[in-house]
Amino acid sequence: MKKVITYGTFDVLHHGHVNLLRRARELGDYLIVGVTSEYYDKARGKLNVRKSLLERVGDVQETGLADKVIIEEYEGQKIDDIQRYEVEVFAIGSDWLGKFDYLQEYCRVVYLERTKDISSTMIRDKTRQVVEIGIIGSGRIAGRFVPESKYVSGIDVAGVYNPRGEAAAAFRDRHELRFSSDVFDAFLSRVEAVYVASPHPTHAGYIRRALLAGKHVLCEKPMVLTAGEAVELYALAAARGLVLLEALKSAYCPGFKRLVSLLKSGAIGQIRDVAASFSKLVEGRPREMTREQAGGSVTELGSYVLLPVIKLLGVNYRRAFFYSCCNEEDVDIFTRGIIEYPSATASFKVGLGVKTEGDLVVSGTRGYAYVPAPWWKTEYFELRHENRNDVKKHFYRFDGDGLRYEIDEFLRLIRDEQPRHSYLFAPEESVAAARLIELFREGENTTRMG
């Protein structure tokens, strides 16, 4: 008897899952299906699993395709299961291509091509729980979105749009999506929501067209380059009952959420200063360093460092001052900002051509918070006090590239229906960040150095 084994969460079981099980079964005479436990899902960074383990096991059994269902509870269990059950074939979806090559020592490994003929009707009518999303843009960040989406239950990345059709098709094939398009309206007609990962200057136009077409929108930071555009688009989303969320991953990750809650509750007393830094060195003339693509340190990294300032001190700042070093094209490669509040100050440093420590320090009247680099991937922070015995250390998970956290929040807003905006990065906070970026781009209180 030739035994085959496959694994999965199998949450919101749909036609694609069933097809995978059927094709796995065709590889042998006996199919074993491993269903991940809640604990293991959490350990591997899987978010938003909606059904219980018993429900998911029941769904798999109801397909009639599994001869045996087992529970996957720990990392490394696949090797144990293959040997225990004398399995000859391990089968998994091709979206995990290469991930399980290490199992070839124990059995044959087969990557099954993703089912590309699942229609919107199949997913929407059979489950009412899976959101089909399309990606606008096919660059580096778009490429990270697809694998990150696999760790969030209830989302299906269906297709990609790029006005350059060849680039869209290459992205589609690389990530095994069902379709690609270079016609925007045709693209919109095939999805329920969009993720905007195109160059900064194009964001506002794509968001507006998507909202007018009735699509929910998750947009990369900076969402827009002016406060006026932000106000307009949030109002349009609200009027149409749609979700518009700025994809600033740090705002939605567990560690940063906890940090904000503790500090706002008075853990270090009254907050008097916030200092945040973020830098990375880039070479050559990539998009991030070109004026025509609205490049520069502030537009690329400013959203991150403005996040803790606005979350902790609010949107009602008095004035902002900027000090920048620019390259020969007058694109800022390093900027320091000072922001005045009625009873506090804030400062930030961002750099694409200058390197600095990427930490976050929040000063209060009873202590301070220290988050080491890279603070925007908050995994650890300390609340420090005058008495060193009172220091509190906090540890949290930050899995993968972190995009799974913004995807999870986006899906939550779509499903919950009311309210349609996130308290983790509220529209007024997004508008305030856009205004500060706009002030810098307009040269308001800006000193150019070097």
Claim to verify: residue 83 and residue 153 sit in the same structural domain:
no
If asked whether residues 46 and 106 sit together in one domain, one would say: yes
Amino acid of residue 5: I
CATH number at 142 reads 3.40.50.720
Regarding whether 144 and 78 lie in a shared domain, the answer is no
List the strands of the sheet with 68-72, edge to edge: 68-72, 30-36, 3-8, 89-93, 108-112
Domain containing residue 200: 120-248
Q: Is residue 106 domain-shared with residue 142, that is, in the same domain?
A: no
- Whether residues 239 and 224 share a domain: the answer is yes
Confidence of residue 419 (pLDDT cuts 50, 70, 90): confident
51 — pLDDT class (breaks 50, 70, 90): confident
Last residue of a domain, one of 180, 213, 248: 248
**Angle value at C-alpha 142, between 207 and 291, nearest 5 degrees:** 70
Closest of 5, 100, 8, 90 to residue 49, by C-alpha: 8
Does 229 lie in the same domain as 273?
A: no
Could you tell me if 100 and 234 lie in one domain?
no
* Sheet strand arrangement including 368-371: 392-395, 380-384, 368-371, 360-364, 271-279, 345-351, 332-340, 319-326, 446-449
**What total number of domains does the chain contain?**
3
In tens, the pLDDT along 264-310 reads: 999 999 999 999 999 999 887 777 778 888 889 999 999 999 999 99
Which CATH number characterizes residue 439's domain? 3.30.360.10
Could you give the CA distance from residue 253 to residue 246 in angstroms, rounded to a whole number?
14
User: Is residue 138 located within the same domain as residue 175?
Assistant: yes
324 and 391 in a single domain? The answer is yes
User: CA nearest 358: which of 304, 408, 317?
Assistant: 304
pTM score: 0.85
Q: Is 282 exposed, middle or buried (0-12, 13-18, 19+ CB in 10 A)?
A: middle
Q: Which two structure tokens, joined as six digits, stand for 374?
A: 């890279």
CATH for 91: 3.40.50.620
- Band of residue 313 on the pLDDT scale cut at 50, 70, 90: very high
- Single-letter amino acid, residue 282: V
Instruction: Judge if 108 and 145 occupy the same domain.
Output: no
What lies within 8 Å, CB to CB, of 389 at 6+ separation is none
CA–CA separation, 70 and 85 (whole Å) = 11
- Whether 189 shows a pLDDT value over 90: the answer reads yes
Using the 3D structure, point to which of 112, 137, 169 is the last residue of a domain.
112
Is 397 found in the same domain as 289? yes
Summary mean pLDDT of the chain: 93
- List Cα–Cα distances, 227 to 133, 195, 429, in angstroms: 27, 21, 11
| Per-residue pLDDT reduced to its tens digit, 213-260 | 999 999 999 999 999 999 999 999 999 999 999 999 999 999 999 999
If asked whether residues 33 and 180 sit together in one domain, one would say no
Q: Of the residues 248, 265, 282, which one is the last residue of a structural domain?
A: 248
Of 299, 274, 297, the C-alpha closest to 359 is 274
